Copies of this chain bind each other. A is one copy, B any other.
Amino acid sequence: MPIADTVLERIRRVTRLPKVALHEPTFGGNELAYVTECIQTGWVSSVGEFVNRFEHDLADFTGAAHAVVVSNGTSGLQIILSLAGVKPDDEVLVPALSFVATANAVRHCGAWPHFVDSDYRTLGLNVDALAAHLRDVAEVRPEGCFNRRSGRRIAAVVPMHTFGHPVDMPALMELAARYRLEVVEDAAESLGSWIGNRHTGTFGRCAMLSFNGNKIVTTGGGGAIVTNDAALAKRAKHLTTTAKQPHPWAFFHDETAYNFRLPNLNAAMGCAQLERIDSFLEAKRELTRLYTEAFADVPDVELFLARPGTTVNYWLQTLILSATAADQRDAILATTNAAGQMTRPVWELLYTLPMYRACERMHTPVADDLARRIINLPSSPQLIPGVV
């Protein structure tokens, strides 16, 4: 049997459904009750009890000292990059293998992405390879770290926790300290992922979470900034709420800012979703077990599993094809999608996109290889009906 047919058959064995999406939200908890409360009380906009509660609950869940909710994850990332000191024409180290938003947020600050290779163990930023690259190109001066090739300052590094698998943050923090780089985590995919007992997004100076419709917890659209830095949290809140100074009626704004507060309507949904995250996580672990079992005897494919010492949210279940089966990837994608079992490749390598082709980058053999070998499988928690 061709490998594409085998993969389809094994996915069906797990999903037991004729048609299944890659990741769909599930709203069996208090979502409707809380949203109804917003509508009935009239509190739907950027001030309301659910906005404050969602921030409190997110800080509580992640262990971050502060959470500031925003209407959009990319915008949130732009704001914290800027608060971490990224200036126009700086460079920011970002993974070559990431969703385009990571690089876009850097550009929205006027800075330039500088692409980094991946790690086979984490699917994220390769800390050892980055260390070797910085040895080659970077120079630490009193004003910060500089790229000798481009002449630009390298202001920060943005690890992204791919599909929920944590980057090796302790090693990255050490490297970043050595090169005086700010660490801003793109934790869009990793709510519910820990290294030891420390939640992703709480290692760097600050992090951004996403609640887009396909995420483990959704608000329809939105995100949150998390940080242990009280001053940064205060600035983030100020900048996302038009920098208005408190006054019963006067409109005094003290800097150029944004109107990026998450509406109460969306925060209400987020509160209800977050109440249920433990069951989502349990369902996703069970789904991983079922896929692992289903693919155990299939040659040339392997389910990507949590590294020892990490707890992974398994946001998207991930199949890694062997090097020899990589040329079957498109056949597998075509067969499974045509049969109603939705699968997806990983993103196009960011340095291949037209707007990022001229950007600085290191050699990216691992990212180049992984980009051909990754297939995401149907991952909705409600595929495990007993749990969710």
Q: Smallest CB–CB gap between A69 and chain B, Å?
A: 11
A345, CB-defined interface residue at 8 Å = yes
Binds B, one of A29-37, A128-136, A289-297: A29-37
A52 to B209, CA, bound (A): 27
Complex: chain B residue closest to A343, CB-CB:
B249
B337 and A254 within 8 A (CB): no
- Cross-interface CB contact of A42 among B27, B44, B75, B243, cutoff 8 Å: B27
B353 and A253 within 8 A (CB): yes
Contacts of A218 in B (CB 8 A): 44-45
B32 and A44 within 8 A (CB): no
A35 to B39, CA, bound (A): 9
A157, CB-defined interface residue at 8 Å = no
Of residues 52 through 101 on chain A, the ones whose CB sits less than 8 Å from some CB of chain B are: 71-75, 99-101
Binds B, one of A119-127, A177-185, A200-208, A255-263: A255-263
A226, CB-defined interface residue at 8 Å = no
Interface residues on A, range: 35 or more
Contacts of A355 in B (CB 8 A): 253-256
A269, CB-defined interface residue at 8 Å = yes
Number of copies: 2
A100 and B251 within 8 A (CB): yes
Which label, helix, strand, loop or mixed, suits the secondary structure of the A interface?
Answer: loop
B46 and A25 within 8 A (CB): no
Q: Smallest CB–CB gap between A107 and chain B, Å?
A: 5
A242 and B45 within 8 A (CB): no
Contacts of A244 in B (CB 8 A): 100
Q: Smallest CB–CB gap between A385 and chain B, Å?
A: 15
B353 and A252 within 8 A (CB): yes
A338 to B356, CA, bound (A): 56
A24, CB-defined interface residue at 8 Å = yes
Residues on A close to B: CB < 8 A? 24-27, 31-32, 35-36, 38-40, 42, 44-47, 71-75, 99-101, 103-104, 107-108, 110, 212-214, 218-221, 242-244, 248-266, 269, 333, 337, 343-345, 347-348, 353-355
In the complex, besides A72-B260, A104-B242, 14 extra interface pairs with C-beta distance below 8 angstroms are: A25-B44, A32-B36, A32-B40, A44-B213, A71-B72, A75-B258, A100-B243, A100-B244, A104-B256, A104-B258, A212-B259, A219-B263, A250-B348, A265-B266
